[in-house]
A and B are shown apart, each in its own frame.
Chain A
Amino acid sequence: AQSVTQPDIHITVSEGASLELRCNYSYGATPYLFWYVQSPGQGLQLLLKYFSGDTLVQGIKGFEAEFKRSQSSFNLRKPSVHWSDAAEYFCAVGSSGAGSYQLTFGKGTKLSVIP
């Protein structure tokens, strides 16, 4: 069964500082990987996705993530955080094979930004 671990429950950074949110996954084959952001009272917005190809993927709002198969990781990065980035971030893994196509999510990392 596929699973996702986000080791950091809560991270606080200063505005303008760099950011890295960690994500480790467990999946038997090549995974489909996603990062979503959720603001309070809102649904999930897709930041970026990895299906295949280049292991460094660019997303919206200046975010990027790198797929490292050897480490089973898909960490999210941003070089300079803005106050509006404060939200909860979810990493998710999807199946690339036949059968169910659900996403399996981590428990999320809450990001706080200090002005």
Chain B
Amino acid sequence: GAGVSQSPRYKVAKRGQDVALRCDPISGHVSLFWYQQALGQGPEFLTYFQNEAQLDKSGLPSDRFFAERPEGSVSTLKIQRTQQEDSAVYLCASSPRGGAQANEQFFGPGTRLTVL
């Protein structure tokens, strides 16, 4: 496809379940970002990959959150033992370049996670 895709689009989990959210970036894009967007808020940074290397994970809120991009393309955000406060839209973005030029990011439609 032409854009960033994310799956599933909607996920409902019971508190304590593990979830995995997938991101397919634009083909050939070097950089990949994950953001969390709570209801009524702007997106907040979670983590950044340049190819397969996770260069920044300073935004991950707890050790229950884990992200990977093993082959430098598709990425998965995993949340273990989900809590109600994890309910949010999780956005993935990719950029064709690394470095400071990675600022120009193209966003996917997001995965809306609801934890009951």
Contact = CB atoms under 8 A, between A and B. Distances in A.
**Do A and B truly interact?**
yes
Interface of A: 4, 32, 34, 36, 41-46, 49, 51, 90, 92, 94-108
B107 A101 contact: no
Interface stretch (B14-22, B38-46, B61-69, B74-82): B38-46
Contacts of A36: 107
Q: Tell me the dominant secondary structure on chain B's binding face.
A: mixed
B42 A106 contact: yes
B67 to A, nearest CB: 13
B4 interface: yes
Contact of A108 (B4, B42, B93, B95): B42
B103 interface: yes
Given A42-B109, A43-B4, A43-B110, A105 B42 contact: yes
B100 A105 contact: no
B6 to A, nearest CB: 8
Contact of A101 (B35, B91, B102): B102
Interface of B: 4, 31, 33, 35, 40-45, 48, 55-56, 58-59, 91, 93, 95, 98-100, 102-110
A82 B46 CA distance: 34
Nearest to B95: A101
B58 A100 contact: yes
Contacts of A45: 107
A88 to B, nearest CB: 9
B18 to A, nearest CB: 24
Given A43-B4, A43-B110, A101 B103 contact: yes
Contacts of B42: 4, 90, 92, 105-108
Given A100-B56, A105-B42, A43 B107 contact: yes
